Amino acid sequence: MRILLSRIRENFLGSKLDVILSITGALFIYFILSTLISFILNSDWTLILVNRKLMLTGLMPEEEIWRAWTIFSLTTILMTTSIAFWFKINIKSSIFYILLLLIPLLIFTTKNTLLYVLFIMILSIVFFYLGYRSKNSELKNIVSRIIMISWIILLPICFLILNILDGPKMTLWGGFMINLILAAIAIFAGFPLGILLALGRASSYKLIKLISTLYIEVIRGAPLVAWLLLAWFVLPKFLPNLFGLSDLNIVVRAMIVLSLFASAYIAEVIRGGLQSIPKGQEEASFALGMNSISNTIFIVLPQAIRIVIPTIVSTFIAIFKDTSLVFILAITDLLRIGRLIPEQQQAFFGKSIESLAVVALLFWVVSLVLSQISRTIEKKLNI
Amino acid sequence: MKNKVSKKKISVEAIGVTKSFGDFQALKGITANIYEGEVVVVFGPSGSGKSTFIRTINGLEEHNSGEITVNGIPLNDDVKNRDAIRGQVGMVFQQFNLFPHLSVLRNITLAPQKVKKLSKSESEKLAMSLLERVGIPEQAKKYPAQLSGGQQQRVAIARALAMQPKIMLFDEPTSALDPEMIKEVLDVMIELAQSGMTMICVTHEMGFAREVADRFLFFDEGLIVEEGTPEHFFNNPKEERTKLFLSQIL
Ligand SMILES: Nc1ncnc2c1ncn2[C@@H]1O[C@H](COP(=O)(O)OP(=O)(O)OP(=O)(O)O)[C@@H](O)[C@H]1O
Ligand SMILES: [Mg+2]
């Protein structure tokens, strides 16, 4: 107790300025917390209970919900396994991840999906433990490879799960699921495309350089909203059935626009990384007789990407949040649902704050996980 | 101990090589023959074009005019020739230029695997034997940043040797090193010289030069001002500029 008191005195009450800052800070924190708590206590959270299905999957029929939960389970388990296996995180950050995971589970779990939650929990814990414990280096290599491949095929598998056994129409996809899917597509497609564009822009071939530069600058020159609207109104008129583009449903168009948009930003980030690699690296690989393709793939790119991981993850987070703009295309994503509930459901008229708070919380959870992972990678690579 | 060079077969032939950076002419016509098995030390004041010269030999700098021929292969616009020359010429840099994201072993095995298509096990065996040769086999699994400067430079030498070059270029390999590490690198270079490797070394380590060099080239302002045996340079250099420079560094 004594120690605690002296600590407090040292850290918070050292000088006059410290005292003033501490008191102001305490008052401020008190004000925020009390507002928050009274808000949580005085609000009617049945809004969530009634609308959890809508928030998770939008207008998808009730009997199709298993698809969303299967995807959610697979992703979560793969994520926990990778985190335990690759990062060997400590107890403190494990608790952090578990708490974050609990938020969406709390919001979305219903009686019917309890089984899924159990499944996720048990398998996650088992894999987490196995990943944490694994020592054998031979086995580790194999597992590491399996995890890698799983991440690569995860997205196609998700699509499979959404479509097999007469899945719902794509235009019925919605809710938080559509935000996650759109973000995943934009990132997975935009990342390789972004790398190619960055290399193109750094290329010594004038034409390739020109095309890449033009692409990047044009895409970045207009806001995402403009590109989405273009995809909705203009594209069908200008491309009459060429490549079947005018038939494409709105979700696919959103995917394309988001991927192209993401690629331009990712390209610029990676270009920054490429420029920061010292000339000596290239000279060393050329002196060893490597050609410029080997040099790019094995020497320059790996180093460039490492350097820009924090910025790339920021870009990913931005893209993820940008997916909420697809409401413009009348896709019922999480944000749109969050706005529709207090407008259309009589029981919850005017309860915008509650509704939007939940939306914000969900976006926040995913963003936080992403940035935490990036910080762990950074630490691991020691850059 | 010097190599007994049978001064017959020419390894590197440079005739009137020039190189400009913008308006500035870094090489003003370099003519020199380097014979097989010969150890040539290049020295001279800063900015005299020493680095530029040895970098033109493996095409890291493109020369503007003149001729460079390496083991009979002319270095010209033909990319095939340039690649063939790079396959026979190894280079060690002042700043080591190791690949920081790869382990020591991988630094050495990468080029043999990608360029010479050696298998993983072949290249690793080769790499380990080279690490033995430079005296640091126990560092194979580490990353460059975990090694001392001297160890890094020895890895860089092993990396260049892994391509089994016929000629080695050294650009001030010890001038970025702390004094206590210079010797370990020079020892490796001496061993290499004694094994009969053709070497062109830019260096101001005169002790090393006296011990292994067959010939000195003194550069100043983009020209070879004077050339000759170490004895010639240490005992009675002809040119005023050479005398002045030697008096400064000795
Ligand atoms: N890439 C370049 N662009 C412009 N000028 C250059 C370039 N490389 C070298 N130079 C110039 O060419 C001249 C010769 O450079 P070089 O590096 O060959 O000298 P050096 O003899 O190796 O000197 P040092 O002992 O300092 O290494 C210098 O004046 C240098 O400024
Ligand atoms: Mg130099």
- Predicted pLDDT at A348: 67
| pLDDT category of residue B143 using cuts at 50, 70 and 90 | very high
pLDDT of res. A383? 45
* pLDDT at residue B4 in the model: 52
The whole-number pLDDT of residue B239 equals 83
ipTM over 0.85: yes
Name, in order, each residue with C-beta under 8 angstroms of A230's C-beta and a sequence gap of 6 or more: A257
Residue B5 has pLDDT above 60, yes or no: no
Higher pLDDT, B109 or A2: B109
State whether residue A14 sits within 8 Å of chain B by CB: no
pLDDT attached to residue B192? 92
- Find, among B111, B205, B207, the residue nearest to B158 by Cα: B111
Task: Calculate mean pLDDT across residues B195-207.
Answer: 91
Taking 60 as the threshold, does the pLDDT of residue B114 lie above it?
yes
Element (H, E) at A342: helix A334-344
Nearest CA to ligand 1 atom 29: B47
Helix (H, G, I), strand (E, B) or coil at A35: helix
The answer, yes or no, to whether any atom of ligand 1 lies below 6 A from the CB of B247, is no
Q: Which tens digit of pLDDT belongs to each residue from A303-341?
A: 999 889 888 988 998 998 888 888 887 788 878 887 777
Q: Hey, CA dihedral for B5, B7, B10, B13, is it positive or negative?
A: positive
* Sheet containing B10-21: order of strands: B24-35, B10-21, B65-70, B73-74
Judging contacts by C-beta atoms under 8 Å, the chain B residues touching residue A289 are 83, 86-87, 111, 115, 163
Q: Class assignment of domain A54-60+171-383?
A: mainly alpha
User: With 70 as the cut, is the pLDDT of residue B72 above it?
Assistant: yes
B100 C-alpha to ligand 1 centroid (Å): 25
Ligand 1 centroid vs B53 CA: distance in angstroms? Answer: 10
pLDDT (mean) for A82-89: 70
pLDDT over threshold 70, residue B21? yes
**What ligand has the least distance to the C-alpha of B22?**
1
pLDDT greater at residue B131 or residue A161: B131
Mean pLDDT of A268-294: 93
| CB under 8 A, 24+ apart: contacts of A23-26 | none
Chain mean pLDDT for chain A? 80
Structure-token match 């939940």, residue found: A358
pLDDT grade, residue A16 (50/70/90)?
Answer: confident
Average pLDDT over residues A60-70: 75
Token pair of A342 as six digits: 């207090």
Averaged pLDDT score across all residues of chain B: 90
Rounded to an integer, what distance in angstroms lies between the CA atom of residue A74 and that of residue A154? 8
Indicate if ligand 1 lies below 6 Å from the C-beta of B26: yes
Q: Within an 8 Å CB–CB cutoff, is residue A112 touching chain B?
A: no
pLDDT of residue B1: 43
Q: Which of B131, B148, B129 is nearest to B140 (CA)?
A: B131
Contact B11, B36 (CB under 8 A): yes
The pLDDT > 90 percentage for chain A reads: 16
Confidence of residue A359 (pLDDT cuts 50, 70, 90): confident
Alpha-carbon distance of B69 to B14, in angstroms, equals: 7
B93 vs A280, A290, A302: nearest CB: A280
Q: What percentage of chain A has pLDDT greater than the value 70?
A: 88
Provide the residue ranges of all domains of chain A, joining segments of one domain with +. 2-42, 54-60+171-383, 61-167
C-beta B3 within 6 A of ligand 1: no
Q: Whole-model pTM?
A: 0.82
What Rg value do the Cα atoms of chain B yield, rounded? 18
> Which residues of chain B neighbour A298 with C-beta distances below 8 Å?
110, 114
Q: How far is CA A212 from CA A231, A322, B32, B247, in A?
A: 21, 23, 45, 56
C-alpha of residue B164 to centroid of ligand 1, in Å? 29
Q: What is the pLDDT of residue A194?
A: 93
| Per-residue pLDDT at A338 | 79
* Of residues A243 and A353, more confidently modeled: A353
The residues that bridge with A369 in the sheet, in sequence order, are: none
Give first-to-last CA distance, chain B, whole Å: 21
Query: Using CB atoms and an 8 Å cut-off, which of residues 290-309 of chain A contact chain B?
Result: 290-291, 294, 298-299, 302-303, 306
Cβ proximity of B33 and B10 under 8 Å: yes
Whole-number pLDDT of residue A167? 66
How confident is the model over B146-191, as pLDDT tens digits?
Answer: 999 999 999 999 999 999 999 999 999 999 888 888 999 999 999 9
* Helix B149-161 / helix B104-115 crossing angle, nearest 10 deg: 20
Q: Name the one residue in this structure whose structure tokens are 């097999």.
A: A164
Letter string b/e over residues A322-354, b meaning 16 or more CB atoms within 10 A of that residue's CB: bbbbbbbbebbbbbbbbeebbeeeeebeebeeb
Lowest mean per-residue pLDDT among A48-57, A259-268, B49-58, B210-219: A48-57
Highest mean pLDDT among A44-58, A240-254, B42-56: B42-56
Q: Are strands B167-171 and B24-35 parallel, antiparallel or unpaired?
A: unpaired
Give the SS3 label for residue B101.
coil
pLDDT greater than 70 at residue B96: yes
CB-ligand 1 contact for B154 (6 Å cutoff) = no
DSSP per residue over A138-153, as a string? HHHHHHHHHHHHHHHH
Query: Residues A38-55: what's their mean pLDDT?
Result: 73
Any ligand 1 atom below 6 A from CB of B63:
no
pLDDT tens digits, one per residue of A196-235: 999 999 888 899 989 999 999 999 888 888 888 887 777 6
